[in-house]
Structure 1
Amino acid sequence: MKFTVLTFGCQMNVHDSDWLIRAMESRGWTAVEESEADIFIINTCSVRDKPEQKVYSVLGRLAPLCKNPGSFVAVGGCVAQQIGDGFLEKFPHVRLVFGSDGIAQAPDALVDLAANHEKRLVLTDFLGDYPEREGGEVQPNADLIPPGIGTIPGQAFVNIMQGCDNFCAYCIVPYTRGRQKSRSSEAVIKECAHLVKSGVREITLLGQNVNSFGIDKKGEDISFAQLLYKISAIEGLERIRFTTSHPKDIAPEVIKAFGELPNLCPSLHLPVQSGSDRILKKMGRKYDRERYLGIVEGLKEACPNISLTTDLIVGFPGETDEDFEQTMDMLERVRYESSFSFKYSDRPGVAAVKMKPKVPEDVAQARLARLQERQKRITRKSLEALEGHETVVLLERLSKRQEEGGMTWRGKDPGGRVVNVHFAGYGEEQKLGGKLVKVKITEAKNHSLVGAKVGEPW
């Protein structure tokens, strides 16, 4: 059976899609381009309205491609959890709907539906515990799983938890991914060791709020900081990253780890959302400017070269010009290397829907443009400060722009910055994905760096 997976949203969705591809390939299915597929799997995101609307557009586009009896669409992820069997009512070519906990059952469900053309299924029940999956997550000592489409050589994502208990006023995640459920530390550590054994050099730990890992176990499991130290000790693991962190839950031991663990990358995504205490309180973030800036100070003391990135929302209900200027001030104080910034949009069922007054669209757009322009200047200066410095880059893939006399590869330094490196005399037959190379930064671009290799890749 030929299938394709279309993915929207966060790194957790990317990881889920990659696992799903491998699970279906292990059943003899073949991952192909959309134009060649019989079965279409859409992994959806509903954190903001725009990606949700894209799902409906894609479903309309796929309808003419599902005329054959064996062709159908499966919708998974957050929008699937939110809409449920509404997809079956509105779109006849949708025959499977699975939520965040239902993904573990999705592979067998897809095989079942491919054989039974009249059947339709909805898998949106939340489970009490983390739903372990086949393959690396549930059988860490099984045969090594070949990388699926979309994987980056040498890198892997590992889910350590799912769901969230914070219920921020603007966020739909607790309603679409459920309450927090941590995996057992033993399962996480075994999976990480399994991946390193298979050749993975960098692991990114994933969760809606990794800092609260284990809290839902009521003390029965280890803390996130303890998990970091145990994973760091895995022989052969060169780099560890994690995302996402809620500032209210980051422990002093986690901050300390950035100064003590040699393979914990000096890079942290720490969403601030707003620089205004008044707006942070309305958002239900449970920290203020002073607390957040104290965390930043601690991180920079533990790891002076740490690269900080963040999420920002402008136009939250009731946000005044003064509130917005405090967010702009936060950019200058922290000097984030990059940020994901968005206009607030109502999401169904969240507390902020009822909050007044709403910020006019044109005001929110103007604020977003100002913020992004300021961030662009800060990012450029941060990257320019790295010119002349040496670093180690984990190569990922060929760069989009090539030059004569060799091949140019792109990868990331320990801080998570994109670095393009030219290899004179190399051809396409030399596969460098997953290799490390020492480079000297020669030029800063708006969002990336250029480096010259110092020595050969290993």
Structure 2
Amino acid sequence: MKFTVLTFGCQMNVHDSDWLIRAMESRGWTAVDESEANIFVINTCSVRDKPEQKVYSVLGRLAPLCKNTGDFVAVGGCVAQQIGDGFLEKFPHVRLVFGSDGIAQAPAALEDLAQNHEKRLVLNDFLSEYPEREGGEVLPNTDLLPPGIGTIPGQAFVNIMQGCDNFCAYCIVPYTRGRQKSRSSEAIINECKSLVKAGIREITLLGQNVNSFGIDKKGKDLSFAELLYKISDINGLERIRFTTSHPKDIAPEVVRAFGELHNLCPSLHLPVQSGSDNILKKMGRKYDRTRYLQIVDDLRKACPDIALTTDLIVGFPGETDEDFEQTMDIMERVRYESSFSFKYSDRPGVAAVKMQPKVSEDVAQSRLARLQERQKSITRESLDDLVEREMVILLERPSRRQPSGGISWRGKDMGGRVVNVYFAGYTDEKTLGGKMVKVKIIEAKNHSLIGAKVGEPW
């Protein structure tokens, strides 16, 4: 069968889609472009309204492509969990709906539906334990990466948990991905070892709230800090990252790890959401600005060069001008290297839907524009400070702009910053993906750096 996977939303969705592609290819299916596919899988996101609306648009676009009897669409992810069999009722060409826990069963279901053309399935039950997946894993004792592993050369993502128990007032995740389920630390460590053996140099650990890893197991497994130290010890693993962190759960041991583990990247995404204690309380974040700023101070004492990024919501119900100014103030104090910022939007079933007063669209847009403009300046100032520094870059892919007489590649430093490097005289692009190179930063752009290589890549 020929199939394609269309992905919306977070890095966990990207990772889920990558796994599903490998699992289907291991069953003899062929991943192709949308124009050639018979079966279409849409992996959806419902954190904000816009990605959800995109799903309905895509379903309308795919309907004419399902021309033959065996052609169909499968809808997975958070919107699938939220809407369920509503997709079957509204879209005749949708024959499979699977939620976040149902993805483990999706490969077998896709095979079943490809044979039984009248059948339709909904796999939306939440499971009590983390559903381990078979058929798309990296096999031990192999020297080659299976198809689909490492969409970025040298890098891989590893799920360590699923779901969330925090129930922040604005967030739909606990309702679409379920309650927190930590994966077995043994399974995580074994997967990491297999990835490193297969050539992976950098691993990013994924979870809705990685800092609470193991809490649901009530002491029967490792804490997140203990897991970090175990993974750090894997021979040959050169870089570790993790996302996302909830500030209320970050342990002192995790903070110390940034100063003690040589391969833990000095980079942390630490969502603050708002700088106002009033709004943080309404959001149900369970920390205040004093606590958050103390965490930042502790992180910088442990690792002075740590690069901090964040998420910010403006226009939350009841946000006053003073509340917004507090958010601007915390940006100035922390000086995030980058941030993801959004206007608040109601999501079905969350507590904030009923909160009043709502902030007008015009006011929210004005605040967002001001915040993003200031972030742009801070980002540029932070990058300017790195000119003349030397750093090691893990090369990912060719740069968007290519000069003559050689090849320009983009990669990332340990802090997660994008660096473009020129290789004079190189003609074979395939020789550079996943390699590392030492560079000296010679120029800062608005969102990236230009580096001159110091020595040859390895």
Listed as ranges, the matches of 1:3-402 within 5 Å are 3-135=3-135, 145-148=145-148, 151-402=151-402
- Check the 8 A contact 1:2/1:36 in 2, yes or no: yes
Q: CA deviation at 1:431?
A: 2.3
- Check the 8 A contact 1:136/1:194 in 2, yes or no: no
Whole-Å Cα distance in 2 between the matches of residues 112 and 231 of structure 1?
A: 37
Whole-Å Cα distance in 2 between the matches of residues 166 and 430 of structure 1?
A: 44
Cα deviation per residue 1:202-223 (whole Å; 9 max; x = unaligned)? 0000000000000000110110
Q: 1:140 to 1:430 in 2, by over 3 A?
A: closer
TM-score relative to the length of structure 2: 0.98
Q: CA deviation at 1:146?
A: 1.1
Classify the secondary structure of the residue corresponding to 2:204.
strand
- Check the 8 A contact 1:211/1:251 in 2, yes or no: yes
Classify the secondary structure of the residue corresponding to 2:279.
helix
Amino acid at match of 1:25: E
Whole-Å Cα distance in 2 between the matches of residues 75 and 202 of structure 1?
A: 31
Classify the secondary structure of the residue corresponding to 2:431.
coil
Q: CA deviation at 1:139?
A: 6.5
Whole-Å Cα distance in 2 between the matches of residues 129 and 118 of structure 1?
A: 32
Q: CA deviation at 1:67?
A: 1.8
Cα deviation per residue 1:306-337 (whole Å; 9 max; x = unaligned)? 00000000000000000000000011000000
Runs of at least 5 residues in structure 1 that lack an aligned partner in the other structure: none
- Check the 8 A contact 2:267/2:415 in 1, yes or no: yes
- Check the 8 A contact 2:19/2:137 in 1, yes or no: no
Q: CA deviation at 1:138?
A: 9.1
Cα deviation per residue 1:395-443 (whole Å; 9 max; x = unaligned)? 0011110000100001100000000001000013542111000000111
Whole-Å Cα distance in 2 between the matches of residues 207 and 137 of structure 1?
A: 18
Q: Which residue of 2 aligns with 1:449?
A: 449
Aligned-residue RMSD, C-alpha: 1.2
Amino acid at match of 1:343: K
Q: CA deviation at 1:56?
A: 0.3
Q: 1:184 to 1:139 in 2, by over 3 A?
A: farther
- Check the 8 A contact 2:189/2:231 in 1, yes or no: yes
Classify the secondary structure of the residue corresponding to 1:156.
strand
Classify the secondary structure of the residue corresponding to 2:366.
helix
Whole-Å Cα distance in 1 between the matches of residues 290 and 33 of structure 2?
A: 50
Classify the secondary structure of the residue corresponding to 1:410.
strand
Whole-Å Cα distance in 2 between the matches of residues 386 and 144 of structure 1?
A: 36
Whole-Å Cα distance in 2 between the matches of residues 104 and 138 of structure 1?
A: 16
Identical-residue share of aligned pairs (%): 86
Classify the secondary structure of the residue corresponding to 1:9.
coil
Whole-Å Cα distance in 1 between the matches of residues 182 and 14 of structure 2?
A: 19
Whole-Å Cα distance in 2 between the matches of residues 112 and 361 of structure 1?
A: 47
- Check the 8 A contact 1:312/1:340 in 2, yes or no: yes
How many residue pairs get aligned? The number is 458
Amino acid at match of 2:64: P
Which moved further from structure 2: 170-179 or 138-147? 138-147
Whole-Å Cα distance in 1 between the matches of residues 200 and 149 of structure 2?
A: 16
Classify the secondary structure of the residue corresponding to 1:170.
coil
Q: Which residue of 2 aligns with 1:414?
A: 414
Cα deviation per residue 1:153-176 (whole Å; 9 max; x = unaligned)? 100000000000000000000000
Q: CA deviation at 1:147?
A: 3.8
Cα deviation per residue 1:22-46 (whole Å; 9 max; x = unaligned)? 0011011111111111111000000
Classify the secondary structure of the residue corresponding to 1:312.
strand
Whole-Å Cα distance in 2 between the matches of residues 225 and 374 of structure 1?
A: 34
